[in-house]
Amino acid sequence: MDTVSRLIGLARLAASVDKRCLLGRTTVMDVPDAGDGEAWFHVLLDGECTVDLPSGQLALKAGEALVVPNGERHRVRTNGPGRLHGTVETAGESYDTIRSSHTEDDVIDLFCGRYTYGSGAGAILFRTLPDPLHVNLSTSDSVAMLTTIMRREARESGAGTAVILGALSSALLAMMLRQSDHSVPLWTAVDDPRIRTAIDEVVTAPGEDWPIARLSETASMSRATFIRHFTRTTGMTVGAFLTHVRLMTAAELLSTTDLTVATVAGRVGYKSESAFSRAFRESTGQTPAKFRRSTGSHVVEPHL
């Protein structure tokens, strides 16, 4: 299985399109904080708008998408003269429709939805993404076709539309994660094939010993060159990358198997259970045992 597919599988991803926003000029729409294990996304099909995030303003144009990995509240605004107006919402079977309260003339067509993910691997994956993740979808023919299908499905809303839009939104995230032309490095979409080879090897076998010397040899680079290129193209250190991948795999093992914590630690490359437990707690906020209980698994750990 390829790296992006494996990561999305580990994350236990689900997606839903909650609203279609057909807004006129001079309109503001506030998006509240998402719940735990949720990330907002927006796909702009037509027009232009501004998204106000705590970290700053971002211009969104037709053919672009935005993911807010931490699910923080933000505001969507359309340009126009005079004071800003609010919105009115109409409930629908598959999704709700939001329009400007003062006009029927639409200047943007915006899909708004959320990704939900698991508290272990999913939370780790979304925490490693640029915040926000802003992608120009128009550079990819396959993504353009996908958004065209989303628009058509929304227009012809019928039986199964909610499921279809959710599945298309999940596919959209996969395409975003493998698209390399981002303004900030995205480790899932490295365009250097040598670094990509090293990443794929680790994701495939995270429990093996991966010293810098072995990784640089896998990438056919010198040690110093590999470290420099890896940090530049992924936006993280080699050590941070190894930790992320190993703990994502560990979260999956803790959720789906009856392996002891010590065995899981060994499976993902940790030489001691204490070191693994400390790293897992720092990354997820829970001990491995508590995380396992929260997922509904009831494995009895042996007394040491």
Q: Looking at the domain assignment, is residue 80 inside a domain?
A: yes
Q: What CATH number should be reported for the domain holding residue 198?
A: 1.10.10.60
Q: Give the end of a domain, one of 166, 185, 204.
A: 185
Same domain for 151 and 125: yes
What are 136-190's pLDDT values in tens digits?
887 777 777 888 888 888 887 788 899 999 999 999 999 899 886 666 788 999 9
- Shared-domain flag, residues 15 and 151: yes
Per-residue model confidence (pLDDT) at position 301: 46
Higher pLDDT, 138 or 192: 192
Across all residues in the chain, what is the average pLDDT?
91
What's the chain's Rg over C-alpha atoms? 21
My answer on whether 194 and 245 are in the same domain is yes
Q: Are 243 and 275 within one domain?
A: yes
Structural domain contains residue 304 = no
- Determine contact, residues 78/134, Cβ cutoff 8 Å: no
- 162 and 40 in one domain? yes
Token couple for 11: 């994350």
Contact present, 256 and 121 (Cβ < 8 Å): no
Asked if 279 and 270 touch (Cβ cutoff 8 Å), the reply is: yes
**Residue 30 included in any domain:** yes
Query: How far apart, in whole angstroms, are the C-alpha atoms of residue 85 and residue 232?
Result: 43
Domain hosting 220: range is 190-294
297 pLDDT higher than 70: no
Return the higher-pLDDT residue of 34 and 105: 34
In a domain, 140, yes or no: yes
Number of folded domains that form the chain: 2
The closest alpha carbon to 15, from 153, 157, 173, belongs to 173
If one compares 144 and 207, the residue with the highest pLDDT of the two is 207
User: What digits encode the pLDDT tens for the residues 126-138?
Assistant: 999 999 999 888 7
In the structure, what pLDDT confidence band is assigned to residue 298 with cuts at 50, 70 and 90? very low
Give domain status of residue 300, yes or no.
no
Q: Are residues 169 and 95 in the same domain?
A: yes
Q: Give the model's confidence band at 117: pLDDT under 50 very low, under 70 low, under 90 confident, else very high.
A: very high
| Residue 154: predicted pLDDT | 85
From 154, 185, 216, the end of a domain falls on 185
pLDDT: which is higher, 50 or 303: 50
3-state secondary structure 56-115: EEEEEECCEEEEECCCCCEEEECCCCCCCECEEEECCCCCEEEEECCCCCCCEEEEEEEE
Note whether 22 and 123 are same-domain residues. Answer: yes
By the 8 A CB rule, do 123 and 71 touch?
no
Separation of CA 247 from chain center: 17
Confidence of residue 302 (pLDDT cuts 50, 70, 90): very low
Q: Which of 185, 217, 250 is the last residue of a domain?
A: 185
- Domain-embedded: residue 302: no
pLDDT of residue 25: 94
% of the chain with per-residue pLDDT over 70: 96
Provide the percentage of residues in the chain whose pLDDT is more than 90.
77
Residue 82 has pLDDT above 80, yes or no: yes
Closest alpha carbon to 218 in 236, 200, 233: 200
Instruction: Decide if 19 is inside a domain.
Output: yes
Question: In angstroms, rounded to a whole number, what is the distance separating the alpha carbons of residues 86 and 100?
Answer: 6
Q: Specify the pLDDT at position 182.
A: 65
Are 111 and 216 in a shared domain?
A: no
Q: What DSSP designation does 26 have?
A: S
| Residues 253-279 pLDDT 10s | 999 999 999 999 999 999 999 999 999
Give mean pLDDT, residues 245-250.
Answer: 97
Q: What is the CATH number of the domain that holds 60?
A: 2.60.120
35 part of a folded domain = yes
- Within this chain, do residues 196 and 181 fall inside the same structural domain, yes or no? no
C-alpha–C-alpha distance, residues 38 and 54, integer Å: 17
Largest CA distance in the chain: 70
CA distance 279 to 282: 5
